């Protein structure tokens, strides 16, 4: 390796130029830098879903343009990264690879394969507030519960200030060949279902920065209360930008803690949510099996139901419970679902329908633009009660009560379930409670214009608690 040989900058979940320690380290050497992104779909738990593929296409387009403005370019390759990266080293004569360290099981496995094969790979901390493995309890073990984890984060030295983007990136004398992004077919073919995504999102680093600034100035001070009201624009909607690394957690944390409203209760609540995302990443780092196995072992034997019709009704937003259906339709149209409604919809699947949480997690991975493996797995395990830091399974959300509390006027429901547009606020959370002649007067015919409830919540709750008791009895016998 010579000081003039190029370096390969391996982009993964860090599609940005600012606050990118690996990029900055490579640029500061003065050596030619070859930015590379590999589309590696070799793991069923990590392959991007349809909504994520749409976002990835546009994010890579924006990153390529930003690199082009620095007289650089983005090299695209598709396939097994463990084979492609050594091939690129030989093809370009590069002296090494620099990248941001990952908490994703698939990415970490590739890192190990490359290192074991003698590939010169240097990893930089850049995707987290604190590198996974550095926040440990007094015994040197990882935290399994969020609150003490977050307290430890607050007591640790604060995350370093984010880095600026490099002013220049040296280009190699000869560029390696690159795939055409259009040939990856990341965008939907006919029928084009992505219209709602285009209306809702602006992928890319600039879009991420604009969304953060707008949220901090507009909604952050009231975040502690507004975040639970789906009819209001009270959440940050930064999750897809964070997932793709168009903005770093460090940038978000620094902007929030240095904002004029940094001392507000809303901002403290927002920072705690960033902490929950960080906790999920650390948990996945230590427990890579959490994508497909419950962290509480007794839930391996939970009596889940096989209910294809119920799963299909839930996926389509046709359960007969308006707040659940509104959330599932918002998800299909925009690739996103309000956080409070995510909890309600997830609870309905795993408790009212008693369908395995992994079926819900798989659907979210396919349809969410913020389909982050760590957050998705930890959130579903939290709702299902099978994670290490979980809501007890016996806590069963009543969807009608949740709707009356958090969408009291029904604005969110009416937006996404327009067939209930004329239902009075007193009944929009549970239209079956209206007298039949009142429903008829506004053209609402249950089972025709809007579905009947596919389960009775009260009976479903009893069945869910009975299933929990059965699991606990079996666990006692085994012990």
Give the catalytic positions in this structure.
273, 276, 304, 339, 357, 380
For residue 119, CA distances in Å to 51, 110, 336 come to 33, 11, 39
Q: 75-78 and 121-124 as β-strands: parallel, antiparallel, unpaired?
A: unpaired
Contact 184, 57 (CB under 8 A): yes
Side-chain-side CA neighbours of residue 58 (13 Å): 20
478 vs 463: CA distance, rounded Å? 23
379's tokens: 């959130």
Gyration radius from the chain CA atoms: 24
Peptide bond preceding 191 in cis form (omega within 30 of 0): yes
Distance, in Å, from the CA atom of 282 to the CA atom of 8, rounded to the nearest integer, reads 27
Residue found under tokens 């007193």: 426
Burial of 212 (0-12, 13-18, 19+ CB in 10 A): buried
User: 225's torsion region: left (phi>0), alpha (psi -120 to 50) or beta?
Assistant: alpha
Is-contact 98 26, C-beta < 8 A? yes
Name residue, tokens 């990590």: 46
Q: Compute the distance between CA of residue 135 and CA of residue 327 in angstroms, rounded to an integer.
A: 35
């Amino acid at each position: 390796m010579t000081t003039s040989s190029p370096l390969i900058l391996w982009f993964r979940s860090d599609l940005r130029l600012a606050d990118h320690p690996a990029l900055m380290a490579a640029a500061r050497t003065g050596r030619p830098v070859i930015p590379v992104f590999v589309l590696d779909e070799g793991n069923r738990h990590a392959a991007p879903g349809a909504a994520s593929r749409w976002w990835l296409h546009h994010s890579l387009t924006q990153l390529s343009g930003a690199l082009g403005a620095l007289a650089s370019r983005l090299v695209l390759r598709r396939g097994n990264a463990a084979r492609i990266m050594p091939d690129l080293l030989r093809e370009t004569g590069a002296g090494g690879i620099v990248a941001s360290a990952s908490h994703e099981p698939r990415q970490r496995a590739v890192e190990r394969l490359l290192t074991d094969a003698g590939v010169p790979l240097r990893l930089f901390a850049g995707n987290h507030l604190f590198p996974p493995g550095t926040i440990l309890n007094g015994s040197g073990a990882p935290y399994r519960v969020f609150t003490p984890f977050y307290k430890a984060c607050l007591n640790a030295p604060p995350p370093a200030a984010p880095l600026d983007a490099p002013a220049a990136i040296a280009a190699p004398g000869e560029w390696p060949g690159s795939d055409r992004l259009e040939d990856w077919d990341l965008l939907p073919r006919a029928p084009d279902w992505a219209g709602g995504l285009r209306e809702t999102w602006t992928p890319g680093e600039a879009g991420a920065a604009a969304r953060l600034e707008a949220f901090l100035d507009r909604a952050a001070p009231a975040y502690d209360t507004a975040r639970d009201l789906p009819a209001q624009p009270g959440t940050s909607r930064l999750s897809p930008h964070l997932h793709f690394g168009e903005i770093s957690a460090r940038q978000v944390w620094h902007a929030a803690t240095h904002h004029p409203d940094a001392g507000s209760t809303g901002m403290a609540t927002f920072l705690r949510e960033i902490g929950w995302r960080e906790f999920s990443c650390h948990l996945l780092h230590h427990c890579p099996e959490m994508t497909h196995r419950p962290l509480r072992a007794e839930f391996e034997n939970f009596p889940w139901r096989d209910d294809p019709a119920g799963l299909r009704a839930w996926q389509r937003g046709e359960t007969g419970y308006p707040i659940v259906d509104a959330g599932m339709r918002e998800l299909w149209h925009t690739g996103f679902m309000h956080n409070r409604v995510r909890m309600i919809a997830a609870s309905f699947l795993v408790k009212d329908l008693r369908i395995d949480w992994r079926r819900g997690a798989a659907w979210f991975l396919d349809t969410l633009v913020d389909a982050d493996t760590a957050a998705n797995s930890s959130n579903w395990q939290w709702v299902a009660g099978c994670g290490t830091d979980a809501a007890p399974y016996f806590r069963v959300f009543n969807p009608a009560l949740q709707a009356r509390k958090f969408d009291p006027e029904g604005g969110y429901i009416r937006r996404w379930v327009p067939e209930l547009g004329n239902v009075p606020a007193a009944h929009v959370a549970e239209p079956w409670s209206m007298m039949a002649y009142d429903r008829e007067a506004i053209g609402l015919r249950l089972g025709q214009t809007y579905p009947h409830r596919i389960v009775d919540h009260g009976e479903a709750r009893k069945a869910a608690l009975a299933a929990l008791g059965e699991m606990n009895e079996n666990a006692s016998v085994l012990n």
